[in-house]
Amino acid sequence: MTSIDRIHRLAVIRGDGIGPEVIDAALAVLAAAESAFGFRTEITEIAAGAQHYLATGELWTPALQEQLRSHDAILFGAMGDPAVAPGILERGFILEMRRSFQQAVNLRPVKLYPGVVTPIAGLTPERCDLVIVRENTEGAYVGRGSTVHAGTPNAVAVQESVNTRMGVERVVEFAFRLAERRGGTLTLCHKKNILVEAGTLWQSTVDEVSARFPTVPVDYVHVDALCFYLPTTPERFNVVVTDNLFGDIITDLGAAIQGGLGVAASANVNLDGSGPSMFEAIHGSAPDIAGRGWANPVGAILSTAMCLAHLGEGDAARAIEAAAVHVLAQLPATAGPAMGFSTAQLGQKIAELVRSGASVAAIPGYSVMDDLAALR
Ligand code: IPM
Ligand code: MG
The percent of residues above 70 in pLDDT, for the chain, comes to 98
Point out the ligand nearest to the CA of residue 243.
1
CA–centroid distance, residue 12 to ligand 2 (Å): 20
Point out the ligand nearest to the CA of residue 280.
1
Ligand 1 atom showing the smallest separation from residue 251 Cα: 10
From 76, 94, 135, 251, give the residue whose CB has the most ligand 1 atoms within 8 Å, as the site to mutate.
94
Point out the ligand nearest to the CA of residue 249.
2
Cβ within 8 Å of residue 122, ≥6 positions away: none
The pLDDT tens digits of the residues spanning 309-321 come to 999 999 999 999 9
CA–centroid distance, residue 249 to ligand 2 (Å): 6
Residue 354 confidence (pLDDT): 97
Residue 3 confidence (pLDDT): 58
CA–centroid distance, residue 97 to ligand 1 (Å): 12
Residue nearest to ligand 1 atom 11, measured at CA: 248
Cα gap 277→291, rounded to integer Å: 28
Ligand 1 touching residue 135 (CB < 6 A): no
Cα gap 120→115, rounded to integer Å: 13
Point out the ligand nearest to the CA of residue 281.
1
Closest to 343 (Cα-Cα) out of 294, 303, 282, 300:
294
CA–centroid distance, residue 356 to ligand 1 (Å): 36
Stretches where the chain sits below pLDDT 70 are 1-4, 333-336, 338
Ligand 1 atom showing the smallest separation from residue 94 Cα: 7
From 76, 248, 268, 283, give the residue whose CB has the most ligand 1 atoms within 8 Å, as the site to mutate.
248
CA–centroid distance, residue 4 to ligand 1 (Å): 36
Ligand 1 touching residue 248 (CB < 6 A): yes
Point out the ligand nearest to the CA of residue 90.
1
Ligand 1 touching residue 90 (CB < 6 A): yes
Cα gap 208→201, rounded to integer Å: 11
Closest to 108 (Cα-Cα) out of 324, 272, 288, 266:
266
CA–centroid distance, residue 244 to ligand 2 (Å): 10
Bridge pairing between strands 105-111 and 129-135: antiparallel
Residue 359 confidence (pLDDT): 79
Specify the DSSP class assigned to residue 363.
P
Ligand 1 atom showing the smallest separation from residue 106 Cα: 9
Could you count the other beta carbons within 10 Å of the beta carbon of residue 365?
17
Q: How far is CA 157 from the centre of its chain?
A: 31
Per-chain mean pLDDT for the chain = 95
CA–centroid distance, residue 17 to ligand 2 (Å): 16
Ligand 1 touching residue 243 (CB < 6 A): no
Ligand 1 atom showing the smallest separation from residue 244 Cα: 12
Residue nearest to ligand 1 atom 7, measured at CA: 90
CA–centroid distance, residue 256 to ligand 2 (Å): 12
CA–centroid distance, residue 264 to ligand 1 (Å): 13
Q: Which amino acid is located at 271 in the chain?
A: L
Long-range contacts of 50-55, Cβ-Cβ distance < 8 Å, separation of 24 or more: 50/15, 50/16, 50/79, 50/80, 50/81, 50/83, 50/84, 50/89, 51/16, 51/81, 53/84, 53/88, 53/89, 53/92, 54/83, 54/84
Residue 340 confidence (pLDDT): 83
- Coil vs helix vs strand at 241: strand
Q: Is 340 exposed, middle or buried (0-12, 13-18, 19+ CB in 10 A)?
A: exposed
Residue nearest to ligand 1 atom 10, measured at CA: 248
